[in-house]
């Protein structure tokens, strides 16, 4: 999934030792735009922590996965980011209605309904 939002808070980096060695994670709080903004806590792990991009006030494009897990009868949901970049730096999406080289896409010929007799229903 992808989200574009403003970074409003950076939480401290957490570290620890696991069976595969040392791990690092950092959580950030993002705020969506719109009439009813939502705050979202997103977690970055290991080499995905990019301090140069994670600056308060930056508008970010974040690609992430959602995962829920059960522990002792309770469910916990984690938003784990796997890519983050400043908003607007990714390749622009092709515009709808345009073909190659910015030329307008050919449209379908208009349908003439004036000659229909009305008794040839498809069902």
Residue-number span of the structural domain to which 69 is assigned: 2-89
Could you tell me how far CA 20 lies from the centroid of its own chain?
Answer: 29
pLDDT digits (tens, 9 = 90+) for 69-97: 999 999 999 999 999 999 877 555 444 44
For the chain, where are the alpha helices, taking DSSP H only? none
User: Per the domain annotation, does 101 fall within a domain?
Assistant: no
- Burial string for 89-105 (b: 16+ CB within 10 Å, else e) reads eeeeeeeeeeeeeeeee
Q: Rounded to whole angstroms, how far apart are CA atoms 26 and 50?
A: 10
User: Per the domain annotation, does 59 fall within a domain?
Assistant: yes
Q: How would you write the pLDDT of the chain (123 residues) with one tens digit per residue?
A: 999 999 999 999 999 998 888 999 999 999 999 899 999 999 998 877 877 888 999 999 999 999 999 999 999 999 999 999 998 775 554 444 444 454 555 555 555 555 555 566 565
User: Per the domain annotation, does 109 fall within a domain?
Assistant: no
User: Per the domain annotation, does 119 fall within a domain?
Assistant: no
CATH number (domain holding residue 67): 2.40.50.140
24, β-bridge pairs: 15
User: Per the domain annotation, does 110 fall within a domain?
Assistant: no
Count: domains in the chain? 1
pTM of the model: 0.66
User: Per the domain annotation, does 105 fall within a domain?
Assistant: no
User: Per the domain annotation, does 115 fall within a domain?
Assistant: no
Containing H/E element for 30? strand 21-31
């Amino acid at each position: 999934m992808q989200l574009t939002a403003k970074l409003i808070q950076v939480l401290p980096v957490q570290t620890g030792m696991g069976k595969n060695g040392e791990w690092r994670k950092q959580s950030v709080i993002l705020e969506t735009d719109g009439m009813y903004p939502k705050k979202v806590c997103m977690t970055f792990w290991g080499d995905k922590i990019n301090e140069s991009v994670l600056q308060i006030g930056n508008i970010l494009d974040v690609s992430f996965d959602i995962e829920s897990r059960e522990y002792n009868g309770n469910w916990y949901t984690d938003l784990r980011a796997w890519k983050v970049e400043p908003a607007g730096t990714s390749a622009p999406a092709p515009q709808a209605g345009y073909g190659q080289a910015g030329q307008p896409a050919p449209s379908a010929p208009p349908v003439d309904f004036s000659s229909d007799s009305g008794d040839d229903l498809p069902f």
